[in-house]
Amino acid sequence: MERIIDETDELRAVALQLAEDDAAAFTSVTDAYKLPKDTDEAKDARSAAIAKALGGAAKPPTEVIAAALVAVKFAEELLPIGNRNVITDVAAAEAARAAATTARVNVEINLGGIKDEKIRAELVAEAARVDDIANRAEQVTAAVRKEITK
């Protein structure tokens, strides 16, 4: 239990940093859209800046997906060994599911402006992990609900 507490404390710090990173990445996108487009050269520079910013904006959500998977793994680990008086806390896997599914949408919204096929493929692969995370979280919640009806 001590190991899990220590590691979830670290995960919480990571999640808070990801929120800050996401806000900064969004600012980069809005700044890129504000660039001038009055000449062909300016339009090209603006388009390149937007594409770069959108690629950067997709990074924090992919890291949220990875963090959500870690959170669900902790919930799975705690389920059989956790204190039965607070077993509903393990259903916080639902929060991880929500984070992952929301992050997937944030990745997908950025895909339209990302022209680099390698980056697109990496982002699509990361987003594809969300279904597994959501299914695992659902299984944890089902197990918790079963336990509390005993």
pLDDT exceeds cutoff 90 at 60? yes
pLDDT tens for each residue of 74-114: 999 999 988 888 888 888 899 999 999 999 999 999 898 88
Q: Are 30 and 69 in contact (CB under 8 A)?
A: no
Question: What are the distances in angstroms from CA 14 to CA 33, 38, 63, 85, 122?
Answer: 29, 41, 9, 28, 21
Contacts (Cβ under 8 Å, ≥6 apart) of 145: 91
pTM over 0.75: yes
